[in-house]
Structure 1
Amino acid sequence: MTVHRRDWLKLAGLAGAFAAVDPAEARQAAPPATATVSAAGAGHDYRPAIEALKRYVDGHLAAYRLPGMTLSLADAEGFSAVLVAGWSDVERLQPVRPEHLFQIGSISKSFCALRLLRLVDERRLSLDADLHSLLPGAALPDHARITLRHVLTHSSGLPADAPVFPRGGGETLWQGFEPGTQFSYSNTGYELLGHLVEQLDGVPYHQALKAAVLDPLSMNETRARIRVADQSHFAASYSPAYVDRPFVRGGRLAPAAPLNFANAAGCVAANAGQMAIYLHWLIRAGRGQGEPLLSDASRRAFVTPAIKAPEFGPQAQYALGLAVVPVDGRPCLHHTGGMASFSSSIHVDADAGVGAFASVNARAEDDYRPRQVTAYALDLMRAVREGRPLPSPPPIPSATLVEKPSQYAGRFVAADGAAIELRPAGDGLVLVADGAPRNLQPTGDGVFTAVGPADETSGLIVKVDGGVARSVGWGERLYQAPGVAAPPPVDPALTRLAGVYDSGDPWTGQAEVVARPDGLWLGGTTAMTRLGDGAYRVGGDAWSPERARFDGDLAGRPQRLNLSGVDLRRI
Structure 2
Amino acid sequence: MAAKDITLAPDFHQAVRGVLEDTSWAAGLSLAITDRQGVIARTTAGYADLAAKTPVQDNTLFEIGSISKGFTAALILQARDSGLLDLDEPVTRYLPWFEVQSRFAPITVRHLLNHTAGIIGGPEYTGESAFEVWALRDTEATTPPGTWHYYSNTGYKTLGLVLQAVSGLPYEQLLAERLLAPLGMTASDAAITHDTRRRLAVGYAPFYDDRAPRRGDGLAPANWLETATADGSIASTSSDMTAWIRLLLGDGGSPGDARLLQPHSLREMVTDCIEAEEPPYTYGLGMYVYERAGREYVAHTGGMVGYNSALVCDRERGLGAVVLANGSGAWSDVAHYAIDWVDAALSDGPSPALVLSESAIEEAPDKPSVIEEPPAQWAPFVGHYRGYNPWLSNIRVQCSDGRLWVWQGDYTTDLGEPLVPIADGTFRIGDDERSPERLTFDVVLDGKATRATLSGYPLYRTFTP
Q: TM-score, normalised by structure 1?
A: 0.73
| Separation in 1, partners of 2:100, 2:453 | 18
| Counterpart for residue 495 of structure 1 | 379
The answer as to whether partners of 1:87 and 1:93 remain within 8 angstroms in 2 is yes
Deviations 1:85-137 (A, max 9, x none): 11111111110111111000110100110110000010111111111222112
Deviates more, 1:319-328 or 1:74-83: 74-83
| Separation in 2, partners of 1:355, 1:226 | 25
Q: Pick one of 377, 382, 407 that aligns with 2:338.
A: 377
| Counterpart for residue 114 of structure 1 | 74
| Counterpart for residue 522 of structure 1 | 406
| Counterpart for residue 302 of structure 1 | 269
Q: Pick one of 176, 184, 193 that aligns with 1:227.
A: 193
Output the amino acid matched with 2:111. H
| Separation in 2, partners of 1:70, 1:295 | 31
Shift of 1:540: 2.1
Deviations 1:342-364 (A, max 9, x none): 0100100011000000011124x
1:246 correspondence with 2:141: no
| Counterpart for residue 60 of structure 1 | 19
Q: Pick one of 278, 291, 303 that aligns with 2:244.
A: 278
Q: Counterpart of 1:84 in 2: which secondary structure?
A: strand
Select the structure of larger CA radius of gyration: 1
The answer as to whether partners of 2:35 and 2:246 remain within 8 angstroms in 1 is yes
Output the amino acid matched with 1:556. G
The answer as to whether partners of 1:303 and 1:322 remain within 8 angstroms in 2 is yes
* Aligned counterparts, 1:346-385, within 5 A: 346-363=311-328, 368-385=329-346
* Aligned counterparts, 1:123-162, within 5 A: 123-144=83-104, 145-162=106-123
| Counterpart for residue 96 of structure 1 | 56
The answer as to whether partners of 1:327 and 1:375 remain within 8 angstroms in 2 is no
1:337 correspondence with 2:298: no
1:260 correspondence with 2:226: yes
Gap change, CA 1:249 and 1:124, over 3 Å in 2? farther
* Aligned counterparts, 1:392-431, within 5 A: 392-394=353-355
Output the amino acid matched with 2:100. L
Q: Counterpart of 2:404 in 1: which secondary structure?
A: strand
| Structure 1 unmatched ranges of 5 or more | 1-39, 401-439, 442-448, 451-456, 461-473, 478-488
Deviates more, 1:510-519 or 1:225-234: 510-519
Q: Counterpart of 2:189 in 1: which secondary structure?
A: coil
Output the amino acid matched with 1:332. Y
The answer as to whether partners of 1:41 and 1:78 remain within 8 angstroms in 2 is yes
Gap change, CA 1:245 and 1:178, over 3 Å in 2? same
Output the amino acid matched with 2:285. L
Q: Pick one of 382, 388, 393 that aligns with 1:509.
A: 393
Shift of 1:50: 5.1
| Separation in 2, partners of 1:397, 1:142 | 36
Gap change, CA 1:188 and 1:124, over 3 Å in 2? same
1:105 correspondence with 2:65: yes
Structure number with higher relative contact order (C-alpha < 8 Å, ≥ 6 residues apart): 2
Shift of 1:296: 2.3
* Aligned counterparts, 1:135-214, within 5 A: 135-144=95-104, 145-162=106-123, 165=131, 172-214=138-180
| Counterpart for residue 545 of structure 1 | 436
Output the amino acid matched with 1:303. V
Q: Counterpart of 1:233 in 2: which secondary structure?
A: coil
| Counterpart for residue 352 of structure 2 | 391
| Structure 2 unmatched ranges of 5 or more | 125-129, 408-414
The answer as to whether partners of 1:107 and 1:337 remain within 8 angstroms in 2 is yes
Q: Counterpart of 1:276 in 2: which secondary structure?
A: helix
| Separation in 2, partners of 1:81, 1:544 | 43
Shift of 1:326: 1.6
Gap change, CA 1:292 and 1:377, over 3 Å in 2? same
Gap change, CA 1:348 and 1:475, over 3 Å in 2? same
Gap change, CA 1:131 and 1:247, over 3 Å in 2? farther
Gap change, CA 1:539 and 1:168, over 3 Å in 2? farther
Gap change, CA 1:53 and 1:278, over 3 Å in 2? farther
Q: Counterpart of 1:496 in 2: which secondary structure?
A: helix
The answer as to whether partners of 1:344 and 1:369 remain within 8 angstroms in 2 is no
The answer as to whether partners of 1:332 and 1:348 remain within 8 angstroms in 2 is yes
| Separation in 1, partners of 2:33, 2:360 | 28
Shift of 1:262: 1.4
Deviations 1:208-260 (A, max 9, x none): 11112112212122111111222111112212222222335665311224321
Shift of 1:399: 5.3
Percent identity, aligned pairs only, is 32
Shift of 1:46: 2.5
| Separation in 1, partners of 2:376, 2:5 | 69
The answer as to whether partners of 1:235 and 1:361 remain within 8 angstroms in 2 is yes
Deviates more, 1:520-529 or 1:113-122: 520-529
Deviations 1:398-441 (A, max 9, x none): 859xxxxxxxxxxxxxxxxxxxxxxxxxxxxxxxxxxxxxxx84
Q: Counterpart of 2:250 in 1: which secondary structure?
A: helix
| Separation in 1, partners of 2:370, 2:209 | 17
| Counterpart for residue 280 of structure 2 | 315
The answer as to whether partners of 2:62 and 2:201 remain within 8 angstroms in 1 is yes
Gap change, CA 1:372 and 1:250, over 3 Å in 2? farther
Q: Counterpart of 2:378 in 1: which secondary structure?
A: helix
The answer as to whether partners of 2:48 and 2:54 remain within 8 angstroms in 1 is yes
Gap change, CA 1:170 and 1:95, over 3 Å in 2? closer
| Counterpart for residue 3 of structure 1 | none
Gap change, CA 1:376 and 1:325, over 3 Å in 2? same
1:292 correspondence with 2:259: yes
Q: Counterpart of 1:67 in 2: which secondary structure?
A: strand
Output the amino acid matched with 1:308. E
